[in-house]
Amino acid sequence: MTVTLYSVAQSIAQAILGAIASVLPPAGRGVASAPVVTGLAVLLFAAILLVASMLNTIVLIWFERKLLGRFMDRRGAMHVGFAGILQNFADGLKLARKDTVRPREADTLGFWTGPTAYLVTSLILFGILPVSSGWNSGVLPLSLLLALAIFSFAPLFIFVSAWSSNNKYSLMGGMRSAAQMIAYEVPLLLSVVAVVLVSGSFDLTTIVEQQQNYWYGGPLLLALIVFVAAMLAEMERIPFDLPEAEAELVEGWNTEYGGMLFAFFMLSDYVRALVGSYLVVLLFLGGWTMPTWVPSTLTSFPLAGIVWFMIKTYIVFGVFVWVRAALPRVRTDQLLRVGWNRMIPLALLSVVLAAGVVYAKCLPVFGCVPGLGG
Amino acid sequence: MEPGEWERTLRASLGEAVVAVEPFAGTRGRVRFRAGRALDVFRTVHGAGFTHLSMVGAIDWVDHREVFYVVWSDAAKEYAILSTDVPADQPRVASATSVWPSANWHEREAWEMVDIQFEGHPDLRHLLMPDGYAFHPLLRSFKLHEPEELEVKVRHV
Amino acid sequence: MSASTPPSPTAAPAAGATASEIELPVIQAPAVPFVEIEALRSREFIPAAKEALTSMIQEQGQAKLIRPVFNWAGRNSLFPLHWGLACCAIEFAAAFGARWDAERFGVVPRSSPRQCDLLIVNGTVTWKVAHKLITLYEQMPEPKWVIAMGNCATGGGPFRTAYSVVPGVDKLVPVDVYIAGCPPRPEAMLDGILRLEDLIRTRKE
Amino acid sequence: MSAAAPKEKPSTNPILWVARPMATAARQFAKSLIRPSTIVYPFERLEDPKFREEVAVAAGKPLGVGAVWDNYRGVHALNIATCISCNLCAFSCPDVCIQMVAVPDAQTKRLKKCPEIDYGKCSYCGFCSDACPEGCLTMTTRYELSATKRADMIYSPEKLYEVFQRKLPMNPIRLERPKNEDAILLDAPLCIGCNACARDCPTQCITMLDIPKPTPKPGEKLPRRIWKEPVVNDSDCVRCGTCISVCPKECLFWGTHT
Amino acid sequence: MSEMWINMGPQHPMTHGLWNLRVKIDGELIVDADPEMGYLHRGIEKISEDRHYNEVVTLMDRCCYVAGMSWEHLYILASEQALSIAPPERAEYIRTMADEFQRLGSHLMWYAAFVQDLGLMSPFLYGMRDRDLILDLFQSFTGARMTYEYMRVGGVRNDLPPGFTDRARKVMDWLVDRFREYDALCLGSDIFRKRCDGLGVLSQAQCVELGVTGPMLRSAGSSRDLRKDRPYSAYDRLEFDVARADAGDVTARYLVRMEEMRQSVRIVRQILDWLDTHPGPVMAERVPRWLGAPYAPIGREDYLLKRRYPKGVGFSAIEEPHGEAQAYVVNEGGEHPYRVKFRSPVFANLSAAKHYLVGYHVADIPPIMGSVDICVGECDR
């Protein structure tokens, strides 16, 4: 039996409405009727998802700060809350209280809508990506495509907010960001094509379930590498953090942003980092499933899927942090050259390899490998 | 090379432009020359292997001003100091930028601080002080004093 | 409280102690184990929340309710401007280095003044840079604080007689905390930041 | 004589492009996971006893600086009781941050001049404590001096005495003073024997000795003066120059015994 | 996008100090550059004219805040020449050792700042951490971390504390290990090489013409090093090699500085061995009182008028971590120097900025300017 988020929301809604109905006069008993329960359940579903995902993101920021601290031979945030876990709440509250200064020459509409839309589109992704079977907004046959499509909205909003803030550094950062994201969109999608070829589905749940015993990260290693590299560029993290390259463009495209709008940017960056790690886990590392050789006591407790999924996600994110701690940032033209000249051929090659894998599963030798069906 | 020997060599090509070559510890010598023929001296010294100009400085001796140049020869691994006196009311000397391009900023600084006019300098403007600063602080007539008490800004509560 | 003790919960000597009774709290105090330190700092949130709740009950005022929480947030997340002026900037950088790690207190330097709430003037301010400093200060959104770090920022330091030096940055922008030292040690800088946190703790606006 | 710096070619193996730095970072991570080199400042300090011994260098922790931490030049400590008001600290201060102010002496209940230090100006060069002949103005290891008001940074002699009473480790470096030929000399014909120098000498090393009153020649007018002359005891003299500055006739001067 | 001027500074993460780099860019390409100096001009040369000889040392520490000891040494050498005072031998060795410590400290600071410009996050912390160990050593014998006030005309302030040499040896061993790590993080990374190779090239002829000295000159193939060419203090009695590279680009400057650090460790080890076996005085026998510390100088200059002191001019040049620094001290017989003039290597290196910036990208500015190793304090003075 699986607990889905929707079922949880539904039971909560039922309980709430039942309690309300029990105290209401009989005429008002209708509040507990099915459509109302469904409506409230959907709202609760969204609220739980949003709050849990935001909390997850904030914990992710804390995780990065602590991890990066240790990479740098120091402790990282530690005095606010136990081991600094409340640090990011303090940051968020402080930024919420701060003034947001709009430069006089800035374009009002773009200045406000850019960050907001950036955050909103990033948050939508949480509704699409399943963290365990049933823990998404229902069965979408094309959820992978939808997620990637929404994921690639970002350059537009970054560019809008950079341009409208009327600052030379912002503009350069925005242009770099747009160029970089467009250049890396192609290898990202191509490496996903490899997964889709093997799994034969665009549905993330299906893709994950097919990896029960056979993670795609093994046979599609090349696609995994290309995907991770392209994802680093999409998430604008070192070594591809050119749009906000601190040393040359003060803070890149968010130079003019302060207060809550800056918090939006900060949060969406980490939302995208979390989503990127989700995608890596979903597409290549078996999602919430664990191989059958893992003792069943470790995989069958309640919410085991989510726990395993998060463990994998944080390990993947830890690798991103590791890369950030060890590598310098590349240059814009080098980045674009690598994107167009290296990554796309490699991604194409990974598609070809995936086709090879699809062919190989027809061979009797591999035919016995479970999980490659489909 | 001894200062006396060098003086003879320099005099042979420069004649009266060189007043004297004084011994100066740690260097080949201090060449005192006439400001009017500065460029000839620079070219000759540059030709003698002193290809590297390290420093241009000026001293205000109240009645006159002294401009000195420190040059280095890679071949001889030696410094030499060139020095010239200019009158305080008309402190002019030819710019060394055409011979040693590195003199550019040093001369700007010397002009700014001790008010030496370098003729032929491509870009004689303020370097360290803001544009329009009217004084030449390293003149002896410019005295320092404790700062006056200015109003302290307080936050509006 | 004497000028040297950091406004941290453990190290403060008794306020009314006479001069002869005051012992240096640090040298005698045994090193606090790591876990206790963290627990200690984390307990700060609970008093802040408690204060918020009591004031809510007492005054029912929304501003009274949220102020302690926002003060807690503001003092635990001070973003200084990433700006090095002179000698103190090196110690400023050292405080963010591995040994002192100012990020422990949530102090993270940001390069853009829009995202900062703390201007640490770490060095000599000359008249040439004065108006740029004022611009940077004005670009920072409220609420904002200024720390004059080192003697040059406090009062011109050894260069105050010079023709080009502003005798103290408090002539240009309002200063909240002065840190003496030439340059102050990184610890002294952190001490100044803790003192500023102490100011913010009781901030009413 | 010249060592050509090594010129490594970039590796051709794409795996190695990132492997070495990542491995190095991972090694650092493993090291600092156990023991990062951070000192948890308000709770641990470099002058703590635990840092006094040689701490292993492996974690990048300071290397036994505690043992020599006492050299650190921090806030001054002033022992008012032994201060002789010689002004030498104020004279030697390159930043002119020391002012001599009058404070009551604990024993004699009389006012005496002691240094007041403005820490908004002091540059901690240690010249004053080097110059102090009695060792009453020393530098301690205290370094935390933040204040919310500028006026709090001016330390009166009493406050400096408070620091002294804390018995912080004092800077142990006492300079061996090189010999110098300077001494207080007297331009005898100018002296009027006014006793100002002997009165103000902080070490009481000037004694006024009688000199014979010359018999005036006929027609010559004797100068109006007291027939005494100061004699400086060089071994006690701290060479503060107070006598020179109080001399109304400027007849004392720095010189060399010949 | 047409050509536009960008102001990088005075508040910009790239500048590492208070100066303004105005660059004219065409897209991402630099077509012109004009450094704007003077934001940190503190009039040190003027203030020195109002101070006693030894008190100028306090200004020297603050003049170049990452290489204070070298600047003290520079000034003290010139003053000693102007005042005709010679230090004892042990003081010379201690000065040389302090100089090399300072070179290590300054280069570590440079390393930290340089890698941070490249976006390398953790080596910045490693560089600062290891520099702190050097500063601990400094603190143990001078009493301060950055503003030492250690050298005096005629010697140094105090002798080394007991046990110092052992501690110093340990730090040197630790550093040598770290240099390997630094190389692995930088040279071992292909991104670093791609970022730095062929950037900011200056040929040797250009360097000489523009007055560029120090590691920048040596990275262009010259082996000019004043420690070898014009030995001062104890350098003529020590064995070391001059680091040199040929490419003249950012990587070459990195290589030269790393090699210089290794050579500094080598020099320091020799000096430590010498110091262990040669105790002695660290201050000259007799120094005039009017120099200032350790005595109090005489309050008013008038008191001196009754005495005459020798006049003289002093000139010194040392190989400072950033390059070749010179001092020119005029002693007119007064208590205070009549005129002090310094030549800052950064000043000259920076004046050539246009020549090594034009033609590269905006993204190349941080590594190039980082490789120049700018200390604005000594540049503006």
Which is more confident, A361 or D60?
A: A361
Name the helix (H) or strand (E) containing D2.
strand D2-4
Most confident of A102-106, B38-42, D179-183: B38-42
Residue E204 forms contact with D (CB below 8 Å): no
Predicted pLDDT of residue D42:
78
Question: B25, E209: Cβ pair inside 8 Å?
Answer: no
* Mean of per-residue pLDDT scores for chain A: 80
Joined together, the tokens standing for residue A29 give: 């008993």
Flag the least confident range among A104-108, A328-332, C19-23, C161-165: C19-23
CA-based nearest distance E45→chain D, Å: 15
**What is the pLDDT, as a whole number, of residue E135?**
86
- Nearest CB to B153; choose among C128, C172, C205: C172
**Per-residue pLDDT reduced to its tens digit, D92-143:** 888 888 888 888 877 777 788 888 888 888 888 888 888 787 778 888 888 8
Question: Is E377 in contact with E62 (CB distance < 8 Å)?
Answer: yes
On whether any CB of chain B is under 8 Å from the CB of E141, the answer is no
| For residues A134-162, average pLDDT | 80
- Whole-number pLDDT of residue A143: 83
Q: Within a 13 Å sphere around the CA of A89, how many CA atoms are in the beta-carbon half?
A: 16
Segment A208-219, tens digit of pLDDT: 877 777 777 777
* Contact of chains A and B by CB distance (3 or more pairs under 8 angstroms): no
- Read off the pLDDT band of C23 (50, 70, 90): very low
Quickly tell me which residue has 């031998």 as its tokens.
E89
Model confidence band, residue A361 (pLDDT cutoffs 50, 70, 90): low
For a pLDDT cut of 90, what percent of chain A falls above it? Answer: 1
Cross-chain residue pair B105–E348, CB shorter than 8 Å? yes
Whose structure tokens read 């000889």? E53
pLDDT grade for C65, boundaries at 50, 70 and 90: low
**pLDDT given for residue C33 in this prediction:** 42
- pLDDT tens digits, C147-167: 998 888 888 888 888 888 888
pLDDT value at residue C5: 38
Could you write out the three-class secondary structure of chain A? CCCCHHHHHHHHHHHHHHHHHHHCCHHHHHHHCHHHHHHHHHHHHHHHHHHHHHHHHHHHHHHHHHHHHHHCCCCCCCCCCHHHCCHHHHHHHHHHHCCCCCCCCCCHHHHHHHHHHHHHHHHHHHHHCCCCCCCCCCCCCCHHHHHHHHHCCHHHHHHHHHHHCCCHHHHHHHHHHHHHHHHHHHHHHHHHHHHHHHHCCCCHHHHHHHCCCCCCCCCCHHHHHHHHHHHHHHHCCCCCCHHHCCCCCCCHHHCCCCHHHHHHHHHHHHHHHHHHHHHHHHHHCCCCCCCCCCCHHHHCCCCHHHHHHHHHHHHHHHHHHHHHHHCCCCCHHHHHHHHHHHHHHHHHHHHHHHHHHHHHCCCHHHHCCCCCCC
pLDDT for the residue A1 = 44
- Provide the pLDDT for residue E302: 52
Burial (CB < 10 A; 0-12, 13-18, 19+), residue A47, is exposed
Give me A197's structure tokens. Answer: 């070829």
Residues with Cβ within 8 Å of E249's Cβ and at least 6 positions away in sequence, in order, are E196, E197, E198, E199, E200, E201, E219
Would you state the structure tokens that stand for residue E206, as one six-digit string?
Answer: 């250009």
Question: Domain residues of chain E, as ranges?
Answer: 44-380
Q: What's the whole-number mean pLDDT along residues C113-131?
A: 87
Q: Would you state the structure tokens that stand for residue C27, as one six-digit string?
A: 């040298």
Least confidently predicted of C128-132, D130-134, E291-295: E291-295
From chain D, pick out residues whose CB is under 8 angstroms from the CB of A345: none
Chain C residues touching chain A at CB-CB below 8 Å: 37-39, 41-42, 44-45, 69-70, 72-74, 76-77, 97-99, 101, 103-106, 110-112, 114-117, 139-143
In a domain, A320, yes or no: yes
pLDDT confidence band for E337 (50 / 70 / 90)? confident
CA D42/CA C37 separation, integer angstroms: 10
Query: A370: pLDDT confidence band, cut at 50, 70 and 90?
Result: very low
Identify whether A151 is part of a domain.
yes
Is A47's Cβ below 8 Å from some Cβ in D? no
Cβ–Cβ under 8 Å, residues D130 and D175:
yes
Max Cα distance, chain C (Å): 58
pLDDT surpasses 70 at E292: no
Taking the alpha carbons at both ends of chain A, their separation in whole angstroms is 24
> What pLDDT score was predicted for residue D181?
61
DSSP-derived secondary structure for C101-122 = -GGGGT---BSSGGG-SEEEEE
Average pLDDT over residues B107-115: 88
Q: Looking at the predicted structure, is the pLDDT value of residue A373 above 70?
A: no
Distances (CA, A) of C12 to C3, C15, C177, C188: 11, 8, 18, 16
**Is the confidence at residue D1, as pLDDT, over 50?**
no
- Which pLDDT score, from 0 to 100, does residue C11 have? 38
How does residue C59 score in pLDDT terms, banded at 50, 70 and 90?
Answer: low
Cα–Cα distance, B83 to B110 (Å, whole number):
14
Q: Which residues of D touch C33 (CB under 8 A)?
A: none
Give the pLDDT confidence of E23-50 residue by residue, as tens digits. Answer: 888 877 888 888 888 888 888 888 888 8
| Closest by CA position to E218, among listed E258, E188, E190 | E258
The CA-to-CA distance between both ends of chain B, in Å, stands at 73
Q: Do B78 and E230 touch (CB under 8 A)?
A: yes
Q: What is the pLDDT of residue C64?
A: 60
Domain E44-380: which CATH class? mainly alpha
**Residue A231: closest CA among A334, A319, A160:** A319
Q: Please state the domain extents for chain B.
A: 3-119
Would you place residue B33 in the very low, low, confident or very high pLDDT band (cuts 50, 70, 90)? confident
Q: How far apart are the first and last CA of chain E?
A: 38
Q: How far apart are CA E118 and CA A331, in angstroms?
A: 9
**In this model, does residue E277 exceed pLDDT 60?**
yes
| Domain contains A69 | no
Q: pLDDT tens for residues A195-247? A: 888 887 888 888 887 777 777 777 788 888 888 888 888 887 777 776 666 66
- What average pLDDT does chain D have? 76
| pLDDT band (50, 70, 90) for residue E268 | very high
Burial of D165 (0-12, 13-18, 19+ CB in 10 A): middle
> Is 70 exceeded by the pLDDT of residue D54?
no
**Is the per-residue pLDDT at C31 higher than 60?**
no
- Whether the predicted pLDDT of D51 surpasses 80: no
Give the pLDDT of residue E96. Answer: 92
Report which DSSP code applies to B10: H
CB contact under 8 A, C77 and A94: yes
- Would you state the pLDDT for residue D67? 59
Contact yes or no for E134/E104 (Cβ under 8 A): yes
Looking at residue E295, what is its pLDDT?
A: 64
Cβ of C41 and A255 within 8 Å? no
C176 vs D148: CB contact, 8 Å cut-off?
Answer: yes
Longest Cα separation, chain D: 112
> Residue E345 is inside which H or E element, if any?
helix E345-351
C119 versus E335: which is more confidently predicted?
C119
CA distance C179 to C155: 11
Q: Which residue ranges form the domains of chain D, and what is each CATH number? A: 39-69 (no CATH), 76-165 (3.30.70.3270), 182-214+222-256 (3.30.70.3270)
- Annotate E170-236 with DSSP letters as a single string: HHHHHHHHHHHHHHHHHTT-HHHHHHHTT-S---HHHHHHHT--THHHHTTT----HHHHS--TTGG
Q: Measured between alpha carbons, how far is C190 from A268 in angstroms, rounded to an integer? A: 31
Average pLDDT estimate for B120-135: 84
Which backbone phi and psi does E42 adopt, to 5 degrees?
-110, 10
Contact between B135 and C163 using a beta-carbon 8 Å cutoff: yes
Q: Please check whether residue A102 lies inside any domain of the structure.
A: yes
Let me know: does A341 contact E371? Beta carbons within 8 Å.
no
Which of A257-261, B146-150, D208-212 is predicted least confidently?
A: B146-150
Residue E361's pLDDT band, with cuts at 50, 70 and 90, is: confident
Q: Which residues of E112-131 are buried (b: 16+ CB within 10 A; e: fewer)?
A: bbbbbbbbbbbbbbbbbbbb
DSSP character at residue E314 = E
Q: Which residue of A has its CA nearest to E120?
A: A328
Alpha carbon distance E315, B69 (integer Å): 12
Asked if the structure places residue A333 within a domain, the reply is yes
- Per DSSP bridges, beta strands E20-26 and E29-36 are antiparallel
CATH number at B3-119: 3.30.460.80
Q: pLDDT per residue over A104-121, tens digit each?
A: 777 778 888 888 888 888
Rounded to whole angstroms, the Cα distance separating A148 from A101 reads: 33
User: SS3 for D133?
Assistant: coil
- Choose the weakest-confidence range: A277-281, B78-82, C200-204: C200-204
The pLDDT > 90 percentage for chain E reads 8
Residue D255 CB coordination number (10 Å) = 15
Name which residue leads in pLDDT, E324 or E193.
Answer: E324
pLDDT of residue D178: 59
Cβ contact C161:B144 at 8 Å: yes
Q: Which residue has better confidence, A33 or E325?
A: E325
Q: Residue C49: is its pLDDT beyond 70?
A: no
Q: What residue of C is the nearest CA neighbor of B130?
A: C128
Residue A79 belongs to some domain of the structure? no
AA identity, residue D15: I
pLDDT digit string, tens, across residues B1-28: 777 788 888 888 888 888 888 888 888 8
Output C142 or C16, whichever has higher pLDDT. C142
Burial class (CB in 10 A: 0-12, 13-18, 19+), C21: exposed
Q: Which residues of E touch C103 (CB under 8 A)?
A: none
CA-nearest residue to E62 within chain D is: D123
The residue behind tokens 């590299």 is A229
Q: Which of C161, C121, C122 is nearest to C145 (CA)?
A: C121
DSSP H helices, E64-189, are 68-83, 89-117, 122-142, 164-186
